[in-house]
């Protein structure tokens, strides 16, 4: 959440809601095939950074989005 944001990266954080998340586990956010450390991890939410689009400020469209938790990866259908 949200499903999309501005290409200039000023939309705040991307929230992944669930349960059982832990700072003890290696967590990485993957946006457009680049990896980023999460901004914050709580038991129910991972906050991933919303970064500027590699394609520029006028980019419109989806990019791949995934979260990697402890060696397992989950790719979100439709991207971000």
- Please say if the pLDDT value at position 73 is more than 90: yes
More confident residue, 44 or 3: 44
pLDDT at 64: 95
Three-state SS for the chain is CCCCCCCCCCCCEEEEECCCCCCCCCEEEEECCEEECCCEECCCEEEEECCCCCCCCCCCCCCCEEEEECCEEEECCCCC
- Please say if the pLDDT value at position 3 is more than 90: no
pLDDT in tens, 4-51: 888 898 989 999 999 999 988 899 999 999 999 999 999 999 999 999
């Amino acid at each position: 959440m949200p499903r999309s944001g501005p290409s200039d990266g000023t939309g705040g954080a991307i929230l992944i809601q669930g349960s059982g998340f832990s700072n003890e586990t290696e967590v990485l956010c993957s946006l457009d095939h680049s990896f980023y450390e999460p901004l914050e991890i709580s038991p129910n939410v991972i906050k991933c950074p919303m970064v500027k689009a590699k394609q520029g400020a006028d980019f419109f469209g989806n990019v791949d989005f995934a979260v990697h938790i402890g060696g397992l990866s989950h790719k979100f259908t439709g991207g971000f």
